[in-house]
A and B are shown apart, each in its own frame.
Chain A
Amino acid sequence: MTGGPRRPVPAPHDAPASHDAAAPYDAAAPHAAPGPRPVPFPDDRHRRPSRDRLRHRALFYATDAEFRDAATAYLAEGAAAGDVLVVILPEPRRRLLVAALLASAARSASGAAPAPDPASGRPGGVPDIEFLDAADWYGGPTKALASFHERGRTDWWRRGRLRVLAEPPWDCRSPLELVEWQRHEALLNVVFDATSTILTCAYDIRVVPGEVLADAARTHPVFADAEGEWRNPSYADPAAFYAECNRSPLAPPPPSAAHRRFTTGQLPDVRDFLSGQAERLGLPHDRRLPFLLAANEVATAVVRHGGGSGDLWVWATADELVCELADPAARVEDRFLGHIPPRLDRPAEAAMWAVRCLCHIVEIRSDARSGTRVRLHTRLEEPPAGPPADPPSGLPTAPPPVPQGRR
């Protein structure tokens, strides 16, 4: 990471967030920074926040044992409550958890080998968990959001309350990606606010950069550990956090970027131009159409709803094709723009949602003075897939990852 912290970390005495995602926790503990826990958040069975609200929790841990204890207690509680259990972890972390679950099952069976579940072949005493590989799931911030929405509405939430344990990878992220993944954490509070979900994000404080931890302390309304959970006083209003993510200005396109102007009636020409540039800059053939669809949507918005004409630039970095479209005459309101899954009666949102889904990352900057700039980032190469999920050594009876198409 280069440069200093992008945003100041608020002092613990900052006003608590006003966003209503935090509302169920308002009656809870006094202010505290993450670390030693003050008053524990009351047990779920005694004070039940609405089951239809998101509980987005951060689990900061410093040792494998802390992770193991917190994760197994969390999942055991979910299994007892009949929750739908989903675990999204990097492979080494998954192995650690599986070993802990097996050991715990063996312990509770007083040393006797528990009988496997006859239906699934799962070892006895181990909860029914769907394992997803974090390397796949966290391929891109919009991709992860869309996948969550898709799986949730078609499968998870139909079966009951959802309980997720996730550990996003924070290494190998570019500065831009770090911003967008932190934005992603803030967006989860908005997009899934009204869903019956407990989402616990694990952070290994030994390896996760300090500024990421500082931001995590602002994007998760609740902290948790093996003992319980407590309200996070430094939680920030997602809209405010989102606006901060847009604060840093975009550098101008490099002088080498290909440029053209466009206006009404020129969209076919614009697509021809972009198609030629994408080819010249090495975007693989199968990714050109999604790129063209995305750029065309933005150009359409400029022509139809914006100032009527604009400029576009295309260039390549080491690993990305970047396309910027600028509308000097119109300003757009970017309050979660394109981050909320669309409905048929909200066409503009559908367009920007599609743009975000079609790209790796989309940056929007807009103000009354200089208009609107939308920068589309498309990966030139697909990121290498995560390591194959081979069975953990020494654990022949590990629960198999549940296939995605499950009912």
Chain B
Amino acid sequence: MSTLGDDGLPLPETDPDSEGVPVGEMRFGDHLALAFGGDEERYAVLAAYVRDGLRRDHKIIYLADQEDADAVLDRLAAAPAFTGLGLDVHAAAADGSLAARPVIEAFMASGRFDPDATVDLLGAEIELALVQGFRGVRITGETSFSLRGWPGTERFREFEHKCRGAFRAPGSRAMAICQYDRRWFGDEQLRQLLACHDGLVRVDDLHDDGVLRVTPTFTPPGLALTGAVDASTLPALREALAVAARRDGHLCLDLSGLAFCDTEGLRAILETRSSGGGLDRQVVLRSVPPYLALMLRIAGWDRLPGVFVEEAPA
């Protein structure tokens, strides 16, 4: 059970740096926070969220703040989650299954932010969508409006807390992602707000077969590898590396969770150096476990141009 703060609301019980729930594994009743450091990470999660919803015949409500609704649709359509799928974000917006609109319009219609009224409003929206025949409702909202000093927004944390209770209600057929830009919120403020959620949401793994897990990272851009790379997981690793190599620029591979890797895997990792178009990219190997540092040294690959090895503390 959470302890309560001075304002009677729960204090943080989850570590905001914990890795969170992959967006593809969200269930009805979830009220998760997306704490992002940049737009690439943000739209990677949101596009997957929207895509999964459209596939499952969910109604999607996107409450925008920093950009207008059309810009949001363009961003989602351009995200890698939608490439080559034949799902059309703009068509979904036209037929009403994806509703993007300004959060101020939705939450501040009376000119004042009222937590209780807003929770009721969301409840009504969800009910309406289910009546219209959608099989569920996915809501996501930007929270930056709460920092603009609008009347009532000092109660925003109370609103988040109430949302958590509302989404959790038995039989709920709705879920929500609240978007928190780490660059806008103070550390303590963010910690307290995140505590009003069931946890964090993160980008989906590129691969997870129980032996090897490959997760995209965004600051810096790259991949985190967890588990073991051997002949059985090498094809999946190659595929994930090819996806990561599609973007230009340097790549950072976090190897802290890589319990085992053979020389072919190591070579596949190092070959991403030359997988970009034109100039070779730099590959940064971060938190390299001691055994892998040994393998790199044995093969002489630690001195390859364009490879930077940052060893994990022994």
Residues of A within 8 A of B (CB): 146, 264-265, 267-268, 271, 289-290, 292-293, 296-297, 300, 303-304, 341-344, 347, 350-351, 353-354, 357-358
Contacts and interface: CB of A to CB of B under 8 A. Distances in A.
Contacts of A303: 231
Most chain A Cβ neighbours within 10 Å, of B270, B298, B299, B301: B298
Interface in B227-258: 228, 230-232
B228 to A, nearest CB: 6
A195 to B, nearest CB: 15
Interface of B: 211, 228, 230-232, 260, 262-264, 267, 270, 291, 294-295, 298-301, 304
Contacts of A289: 291
B295 A342 contact: no
Provide the main secondary structure of the chain A interface.
helix
A290 B294 CA distance: 9
A300 B231 contact: yes
Contacts of A351: 262-264
15 contacts: A146-B298, A267-B230, A267-B231, A268-B232, A289-B291, A290-B291, A293-B260, A296-B230, A297-B262, A304-B231, A304-B264, A344-B301, A347-B264, A351-B262, A354-B263
Given A293-B262, A354-B295, A268 B230 contact: yes
Given A264-B231, A271-B260, 12 more contacts: A146-B298, A264-B232, A293-B262, A293-B295, A296-B260, A300-B231, A304-B231, A344-B270, A347-B264, A347-B267, A350-B263, A351-B264
B262 A300 contact: yes
A354 B264 contact: no
Most chain B CB within 10 A, of A265, A300, A341, is at: A300
Nearest to B303: A154
A290 B293 CA distance: 12
A265 B299 contact: no
A249 to B, nearest CB: 29
B216 to A, nearest CB: 24
A363 B245 CA distance: 40
A358 B232 contact: no
A354 B260 contact: no
Question: For A265, A350, A357, which residue has the most chain B Cβ atoms within 10 angstroms?
Answer: A350
A344 B304 CA distance: 9
A232 B243 CA distance: 58
Given A289-B291, A354-B263, A342 B231 contact: no
A349 to B, nearest CB: 10
Given A268-B211, A268-B228, A344-B304, A350 B260 contact: no
Nearest to A302: B231
B231 A341 contact: no
B298 A357 contact: yes
Contacts of B211: 268
A300 B253 CA distance: 24
A343 B303 CA distance: 11
Contacts of A350: 263, 267, 299
